[in-house]
Amino acid sequence: LCTVSLDSLSSSLQMDPVKMLTTGFEKRKTFFVHYEFPPYAVKEIGRVGPVVRREIGHGALAEKGIKAVVPQDFPFTIRLTSEVLQSNGSSSMATVCAGSMALMDAGVPLSSPVAGVAMGLVTKYQGTDTKHIENYKLLTDILGIEDYMGDMDFKIAGSRRGITALQADIKVPGLPLKIIMEAVQAGCDAKSQIIEIMSKT
């Protein structure tokens, strides 16, 4: 569930020199993604409290995925809040899709809609040799169990024109570049199909 709030530029975050070095030399930050992953999203009971490391990381990834298409001269500060209601897959990439739609619905003139998808990988080795992959299958839009049991979680976000954010969690000791390139190509194809469906709504 994504909601958009707009405020004046005076609500933007003034950046200090250290933050400017780590975030790309912006003097002020006018676009924020607040990502919330409460325990009930995975059918658990737990305390809802301060933001945890997982929420910060996933929110930062979603923010990078969307920020590239938000106009820099937009005369408002934008706060996009994403509350994950249920999760059995990549909630950060779902945040990119839902956030893009929420921003367009709020009237923010995005240069292009963006979407995200998580690619997975299952590999078979030659006996116990983990350096030589005998066979493999790429998985598109992986579920939670495919993420847990698989060998890769490769998140790709972007528009029709290109990629805006990447994050790779690879569990095997070494992965050939050929497999990475296939994953990027399959992810870009899936991303384009998602954008096509989003454009119809």
Q: Where are the domains of the chain?
A: 2-106, 115-199
φ, ψ at 110 (rounded to 5°): -65, 145
User: What's the token pair of residue 6?
Assistant: 């707009």
Domain 115-199: state its class: alpha beta
Q: What pTM did the predictor assign?
A: 0.86
CB 92 within 8 A of CB 61: yes
Tell me the pLDDT tens digit for each residue of 132-181: 788 999 999 999 899 899 999 999 999 999 999 999 999 988 888 999 99
115-199 has the same fold as 2-106 = yes
Distances in whole angstroms, Cα of residue 163 to Cα of each of 1, 37, 44, 65, 141: 23, 25, 34, 8, 16
Mean pLDDT score across all residues of the chain: 89
- Confidence grade of residue 184 (pLDDT, cut at 50, 70, 90): very high
**Any idea which fold 2-106 has?**
Ribosomal Protein S5; domain 2 (3.30.230)
Tell me the pLDDT tens digit for each residue of 80-96: 999 999 988 899 999 99
Rounded CA gap, 182 and 188, in Å? Answer: 10
Position 65 pLDDT exceeds 80:
yes
Tell me the pLDDT tens digit for each residue of 16-32: 677 666 666 667 788 99
Position 42 pLDDT exceeds 70:
yes
